[in-house]
Amino acid sequence: MKLRQMLPILACSFFITTTVGLAETFRVATYNVENYLDEPVEGRRPKTAESKAKIRESIISLKPDIIAFQEMGTTNAFLELRDALKKDGLDFPYWEHVNGHDPDIHVAILSKYPFAARHPHTNDNFLLNGKRFQVSRGFAEVEIRLKDKYSFTLITAHLKSRRPVPIADEGELREQEAILLREKIDACLEKNPNVNLVVLGDFNDVRDSKGTKAVLGRGKTRMIDTRPAERNGDNLPNTNPHYDPRNITWTHFYGKEDTYSRIDYILLSSGMAHEWVKEETYIATIPNWGLGSDHRPLVATFKAED
């Protein structure tokens, strides 16, 4: 066969291979959407149309297949966002919305793939200084099935904020919520040490804090921090080998302190880490991102094969 005759076949073969390759990967994102409310509540204002549009722009820039939310409002507000994203070309047929002790803001999940199981955690509580407290936002846990032979478990959380409260120390409250979240992780790992597990969300603290350390764990069951960063060309290691690279990883702007910090995470079990595509794991960077939320969304990419 002459080269001219072979070119269409080669082009077709390349297209099929590339398409199949893309079909074998999927993206998981997390985004604190800062009071995504459709009605005002005490101390919280509803989202403006402009803010909602910016949130959708941020999500669309990531093209996630599964996305977890924190600070989501009512089911009505959640489904309004889902419908708006569908009009923009992102269809998520499957969803989960978890009501915790906090009546106003919640955790939620949108997915292009079906849920094989749902395990909402809405009534977890703990004892601190002789008083009983409940986890404010609860934890959403789902098993997501991409195809017959591949599935993974996703847990999303929104731990206690850094704002002081009169009832107890905010750091101690957050640490206790983190300990309960770690118990969910350990339960999954005890059932199957090789489980595909993603734990993500707003932990409201830096990596060296007691709460974040509790979630990460230690030893053989320690979760792996994907540490998404801006895709701006930074690729050098830190001059100090004991520290992470100096690329830009902040996810939250705290106006009271005028500080930027990394408090949103995507963590993986060792089983899930085998499927992780590091070079396609990053933080969204779009103009005027702060119009949508005081957080930036982050995404990690995976191969759908054990």
CB 105 within 8 A of CB 67: no
Does the residue 278 lie in any domain? yes
The domain that holds 183 is classified in CATH as 3.60.10.10
8 vs 178: which has the higher pLDDT: 178
On whether residue 295 sits in a domain, the answer given is yes
Mean pLDDT of the chain: 92
Cβ–Cβ under 8 Å, residues 107 and 201: yes
**What confidence score (pLDDT) does residue 42 get?**
85
Tell me the two tokens of residue 54.
Answer: 């910016």
Number of domains making up the chain:
1
Helices 75-87 and 49-62: crossing angle, nearest 10°? 60
The reply to whether 21 falls in a domain is no
Within 10 angstroms of residue 182's Cβ, the number of other Cβ atoms is 19
Tell me, rounded to whole angstroms, the distance of Cα 30 from its chain centroid.
3
In the numeric block, the tokens 């939250």 are attached to 252
pLDDT at 13: 39
Alpha-carbon dihedral sign for residues 195, 196, 200, 203: positive
Query: Is 192 domain-assigned?
Result: yes
Tell me the HSE value of 231 on the side-chain side, using a 13 A CA sphere.
Answer: 14
The whole-number pLDDT of residue 182 equals 98
CA 197 to chain CA centroid, Å, is 12
125, 132, 135, 163, 303 from 167: Cα distances, Å: 15, 11, 14, 12, 45
The domain in which residue 266 lies consists of 26-232+244-303
Dist CA 177 CA 170 (whole Å): 11
Residue 148 has a pLDDT of: 81
Looking at residue 14, its pLDDT comes to: 36
Please indicate, yes or no, if residue 149 is contained in any of the structural domains. yes
pLDDT of residue 289: 97
User: Does residue 73 fall inside a structural domain?
Assistant: yes
Residue 220 · residue 269 · CB < 8 Å: no
Q: Residue 18 falls within a domain, yes or no?
A: no
Q: 163 or 154: whose pLDDT is higher?
A: 154
pLDDT in tens, 220-261: 999 999 999 999 999 999 999 999 999 999 999 999 999 999
pLDDT at residue number 15: 35
Q: Quote the pTM value.
A: 0.91
> Does residue 237 lie in a domain region?
no
- CB-CB contact of 137 with 177 (8 Å): no
Cα–Cα distance, 297 to 86 (Å, whole number): 19
The residue to which tokens 């103009």 are assigned: 287
- pLDDT tens digit sequence for 3-61: 444 444 444 433 333 333 444 899 999 999 999 999 999 889 999 999 999 999 999 99
Dist. CA 295–CA 263, nearest whole Å: 9
In this model, does residue 199 exceed pLDDT 50? yes
Please enumerate in sequence order all residues whose Cβ is within 8 A of that of 151, keeping only pairs 6 or more positions apart, or say none.
116, 143, 144, 145, 196
Average pLDDT over residues 92-114: 97
